[in-house]
A and B are shown apart, each in its own frame.
Chain A
Amino acid sequence: MLLRSRTATVGAIILVCLAATAAFAPLLAPHDPAKQDLRARLAPPMWVAKGTPAHALGTDQLGRDVLSRVIYGTRISLLVGVSVVLLAGTLGTILGLLAGFLGGKVDTVLMRIVDVFLAFPFLLLAIVFMAMLGASLGNIILVLAITGWVEYARVVRAQVLSVRELEYITAAKALGARSLVIMLKHVLPNVFASVIVIASLQLGTVIIAEASLTFLGLGIPPSIPTWGSMLASGREYFVLAWWLPTFPGLAIVLTVLAVNFLGDWLRDVFDPTL
């Protein structure tokens, strides 16, 4: 089914390659991403005059190998993206189930909280949270998850409201099933398709948000090689050395493209209404 869509196939292949790159980064990277070599600083990519095959994508202002840093950056982007989507998806789904199934006060309170979250531009909220917590890998995952669960909760709640009126739920109730069992065994599987679709569409947004916050100095500490920090650290040298901003940026674009291709396909297959 996947193979029928050309873009989705391409997206899936790219993602598998990226996951492999992340997993085997130490084997693939030609150099230690943190190793400085001031004699080789600002070397251009190998196909440009004065470039060397030792540094295929050139070096930065401290002589660190750009290719190795881009390879290691894959780890952080995928780690943050997947963790955030898992956390936000779980939290949002649970809250959406609770709001939809229990109704009443729980529903009112949760939905007012959702309204408040939606009242902030997403990026503003993330910036403020990060400013408060400080830059770290754990914090960025936490903050993006806290700001990202809302969409799941809204969609799951709306679906629960329609599912719970269906006859098989009434039947389950009549058979004396407890609420928890009904929610987990009968309602959850029905809303799962939408959750998967939202998750796949959110992944790209999260990867971009992480890079943006790291770029602002509010994401991942500069000591860890990430695409966002590569774009932040060499700013004064960008005009001299075009390869410094180009490659980490292309890596982000490629990843987000692949994720979006797959996400659009999942949406078309599972839930065209989203």
Chain B
Amino acid sequence: MGRYVVRRSLQAVFVILAVLVVTFILLRAIGDPARLLVSPEGSRENLAQIRHALGLDVPLHVQFVRFIAEVVKGDFGNSFTFGRPALGLVLERMPATLLLTLVALGLAVPTGMFLGTVSAVRRNSVYDNLATTLAVLGRAVPNFWLSIMLIVVFGAYLKWLPPSGFGTWRHIVLPAVALSAGLAAMVARLTRSSLLEVMGHDFVRTAKAKGLTETRVLNRHVMRNALIPIATVVGLQAGHLLGGAIITETIFAWPGVGRLLTQSIYAYDYPVVQTSVFIISVTFVFLNLAIDLLYALIDPRIRYE
């Protein structure tokens, strides 16, 4: 186990380095930010001056070495548009993103498990068909379209909830529902198939034969075993919520890292784009690492070489 932890952590470090290289190289090709900063009447000298000030006039590999040296010091450069350190800007937005993804996760997992359990226990009933239909739809409805429709229906027509923005708990309902739908559908489908699979085992028949009630068999014997695949998928998908949050935040004007990222892309604000991509990826890598390690604790049958 110890060796596995070390090897897995080294792998995570390697991946983060690669993430840095990729984002650095990619973003140099977006466009020339100096052109955006210089006024239309500005001269060629002005442009050269700004390029020099931003460090864009030296060869790429020199820029990269400088970039890495600064990243190690926690300095990702100043935002071109805000004129403030990019790292601070991104970290300020992080709590909003974490709040949104956690609430979405908190909605998706219980909803999905509830629907999936009802489906499995009342197999082929009206409930099962309804829940399965919902799960199938949840996978086919694009997150951004659901967001738009929620805004139109609940924000604009019914006026039950604010259509966008940040502040009270009422603001988080629509974006969290939009973000959680896909995951909830996946959890429902998985819970159903996982429960049905476990129910077919001999130990469940034994539990029933010794006179345990239906609920007790379900809670103590079936659910525990069915939880393992569900936990894995939830873990893997939790990271992908971060990706989905980019779109959800942009649509709902939710002041998180995702919205900052899209705004910075439109503004050619390299340092902020780099920092956002870096922070989102690092969060993702560590999340996956934590889940892999936790997984070994949850299920004692798993052994690592």
Known: A128-B23, A128-B27. A218 touches B265 (CB 8 A): yes
A109 to chain B, nearest CB (A): 12
Determine if B243 and A212 form an interchain contact, defined as CB atoms under 8 angstroms apart: no
B29 to chain A, nearest CB (A): 5
Closest to B239 in A: A121
Determine if B26 and A121 form an interchain contact, defined as CB atoms under 8 angstroms apart: no
Complex Cα spacing A156 to B262, Å = 35
Closest to A255 in B: B140
Interface membership of B184, Cβ < 8 A: no
Contact of B284 (CB < 8 Å), options: A120, A132, A204: A120
Interface membership of B97, Cβ < 8 A: no
A120 to chain B, nearest CB (A): 6
Complex Cα spacing A245 to B149, Å = 7
Determine if B140 and A204 form an interchain contact, defined as CB atoms under 8 angstroms apart: yes
Known: A120-B281, A122-B240. A249 touches B30 (CB 8 A): no
Determine if B15 and A131 form an interchain contact, defined as CB atoms under 8 angstroms apart: no
Determine if B243 and A121 form an interchain contact, defined as CB atoms under 8 angstroms apart: yes
Interface membership of B144, Cβ < 8 A: yes
Which residues on the A side are within 8 Å of B148 (C-beta)? Answer: 231, 235, 238, 245, 249
Interface residues in B222-259 by Cβ distance below 8 A to A read 239-240, 242-244, 246-247, 250
Which residues on the B side are within 8 Å of A231 (C-beta)? Answer: 144-145, 148
Which residues on the B side are within 8 Å of A171 (C-beta)? Answer: none
Determine if B244 and A123 form an interchain contact, defined as CB atoms under 8 angstroms apart: yes
Interface membership of A137, Cβ < 8 A: no
Contact of A260 (CB < 8 Å), options: B30, B140, B247: B140
Binding-face segment, A47-55, A87-95, A111-119, A161-169: A111-119
Determine if B14 and A112 form an interchain contact, defined as CB atoms under 8 angstroms apart: yes
Which residues on the A side are within 8 Å of B266 (C-beta)? Answer: 217
Interface membership of B54, Cβ < 8 A: no
Which residues on the A side are within 8 Å of B207 (C-beta)? Answer: none
Which of B144, B152, B266 counts the most A-chain CB atoms under 10 A from its CB?
A: B144
Which residues on the B side are within 8 Å of A253 (C-beta)? Answer: 137, 140-142, 145
Which residues on the B side are within 8 Å of A246 (C-beta)? Answer: 149
Determine if B152 and A212 form an interchain contact, defined as CB atoms under 8 angstroms apart: no
Closest to B29 in A: A132
Contact of A115 (CB < 8 Å), options: B11, B145, B284: B11
B259 to chain A, nearest CB (A): 11
B124 to chain A, nearest CB (A): 14
Closest to A123 in B: B243
Interface membership of B136, Cβ < 8 A: yes
Which residues on the A side are within 8 Å of B152 (C-beta)? Answer: 238-239, 242, 245
Determine if B19 and A123 form an interchain contact, defined as CB atoms under 8 angstroms apart: no
Interface membership of B139, Cβ < 8 A: yes
Interface membership of B298, Cβ < 8 A: no
Complex Cα spacing A105 to B277, Å = 30
Determine if A257 and B261 form an interchain contact, defined as CB atoms under 8 angstroms apart: no
Interface membership of B275, Cβ < 8 A: no
Which residues on the A side are within 8 Å of B242 (C-beta)? Answer: 121, 124
Which residues on the A side are within 8 Å of B56 (C-beta)? Answer: none
Determine if B243 and A122 form an interchain contact, defined as CB atoms under 8 angstroms apart: yes
Closest to B242 in A: A121
A123 to chain B, nearest CB (A): 4
B135 to chain A, nearest CB (A): 11
Interface residues in A10-44 by Cβ distance below 8 A to B read none
B44 to chain A, nearest CB (A): 25
29 A–B pairs (Cβ distance < 8 Å), ordered by A:
A115-B11, A119-B15, A119-B16, A119-B281, A120-B281, A120-B284, A121-B281, A123-B240, A124-B242, A124-B243, A124-B246, A127-B246, A127-B261, A127-B265, A131-B273, A132-B29, A208-B143, A212-B143, A215-B247, A231-B148, A238-B148, A238-B156, A242-B152, A245-B149, A249-B141, A249-B145, A257-B136, A257-B137, A260-B140
Besides A131-B27, A132-B26, A133-B29, 10 more A-B contacts (Cβ < 8 Å) are A116-B18, A116-B22, A119-B18, A121-B280, A127-B246, A128-B23, A132-B30, A211-B142, A211-B144, A260-B139
